[in-house]
């Protein structure tokens, strides 16, 4: 098991954001958390990454307890996690090469090895011609690929994706979904993806987790979740 979350609680100003959630994710799975804005899905992701500490409960990553009962025990940089942010968060002052190199250099990987891994990753994401460009010089789709490449180059145990495709037009969204799936399958990486878009969730997930008001309402495959959602009263639909 790659990620194990047990009875996780998190409140902001006494308003619960995550309300006693337990979720286990197996190696190689593609889990998508589906829910409306403010349902606590991003908070959950940020707790796994280590940016937010849960008020209660335990989080384990690859057998290591990283947070327990309000305390973060392992810093984000030591959790072996990759993340693609909603606004991508590409460093504007670093080139594509610099964006990919930063993490490798921080982990003291030798220069030859760094360059080899960067080139390999840029080939995989079809971004090699843009190696020396800066993020501001790239299109939206190219920036998405670089954000993904930057997360994957660190060979993380789990890839977290926080609505990374939400700002794209539908054609580019569909194309990148396909590319994300291909990369995930090629690398066999575990993926936890957050979205409010049902189509996106069903096309990417091996398992969908439906969240609302800080609680998990349903866990299942696309068919099971579609059936569950169709049975909900209209005003409760996600």
Partner 1 sequence: MARKITLWVAILLLLLIGLAPVISMFAKSLFVAGELSLGNYETLFQSEREWILLSNSFLLAGSVTFITLLLGVPLGTLFSKTDLPFKKIFIILFVIPLIIPSYILATAWFYFLGRSGIVAQILGANVGIFTSRFLFGFSGVLFVMVSTLLPIVIILVMTYLRMVNPKLEEAAKLSATWPVVLREISIPIIIPGICLAGLIVFILTLGEIGVPSSLRFDVFPVESFIQFSAFYNFNAATAAAIPLGVITLIILIIERLFLRKKVFQFRVTKDPMIIIPLGEKKPLFFAAVATLAFIIAIIPLCVLLIKSLSISAYHEALTRSIDSIFRSLLYAAIGATCLTVLGFFLGYLLERKAFRFTYAVDSIAILLFALPGTVIGIGLISLWNTRATNMIYASVAIIIFGYIAQYTALGERIMAATFSQIPRSMEEAAQIVGVGWFRRLFGILIPLAKRGIASIWLVGFIFCLRDLGITMMVYPPAHDTLPVRIFTLMANSPEEVIAALCMILILITLLPLSALSLIIKNKRQKI
Residues that bind partner 1 (CB under 8 A): 49, 51, 75-77, 79, 81-83, 85-87, 89-93, 102-104, 106-107, 136, 150-151, 154
Strand runs (DSSP E) across the chain, as ranges? 3-12, 15-25, 30-34, 56-61, 64-68, 71-72, 81-84, 158-162, 190-195, 207-212, 215-220
> What tokens does 7 get?
């009875």
CB closer to partner 1, 56 vs 80 = 80
| Of the candidates 133, 196, 186, 130, the residue with the CA atom closest to the CA atom of residue 159 | 186
Instruction: Report the alpha-carbon distance of residue 35 to residue 195 in Å, rounded.
Output: 7
CB closer to partner 1, 159 vs 183 = 159
Side-chain-side CA neighbours of 31 within 13 Å: the count stands at 25
Nearest-approach distance from CB 70 to partner 1, in angstroms? 14
Nearest-approach distance from CB 26 to partner 1, in angstroms? 22
Nearest-approach distance from CB 5 to partner 1, in angstroms? 19
Nearest-approach distance from CB 232 to partner 1, in angstroms? 29
CB closer to partner 1, 67 vs 151 = 151
CB closer to partner 1, 39 vs 147 = 147
């Amino acid at each position: 098991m790659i990620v194990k979350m047990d009875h996780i609680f998190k409140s902001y100003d006494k308003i619960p954001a995550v309300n006693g959630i337990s979720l286990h994710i197996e190696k190689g799975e593609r889990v998508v958390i589906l829910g409306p804005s403010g349902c606590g899905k991003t908070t959950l992701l940020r707790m796994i990454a280590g940016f937010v500490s849960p008020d209660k409960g335990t989080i384990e990553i690859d057998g290591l307890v990283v947070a327990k009962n309000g305390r973060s025990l392992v810093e984000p940089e030591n959790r072996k996690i990759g993340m693609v942010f909603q606004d991508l968060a590409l460093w504007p002052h670093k080139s594509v090469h610099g964006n990919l190199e930063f993490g490798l250099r921080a982990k003291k990987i030798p220069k030859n090895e760094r360059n080899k891994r960067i080139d390999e990753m840029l080939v995989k994401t079809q971004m090699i011609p843009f190696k020396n460009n800066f993020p501001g010089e790239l299109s939206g789709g190219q920036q998405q690929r670089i954000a993904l490449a930057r997360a994957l180059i660190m060979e993380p145990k789990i890839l977290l994706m926080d609505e990374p495709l939400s700002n794209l037009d539908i054609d580019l969204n569909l194309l990148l979904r396909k590319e994300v799936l291909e990369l995930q399958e090629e690398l066999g990486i575990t993926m936890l993806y957050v979205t409010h878009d049902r189509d996106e969730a069903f096309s990417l997930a091996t398992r969908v987790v439906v969240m609302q008001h800080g609680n998990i309402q349903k866990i299942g495959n696309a068919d099971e979740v579609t059936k569950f959602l169709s049975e909900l009263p209209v005003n409760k639909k996600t």
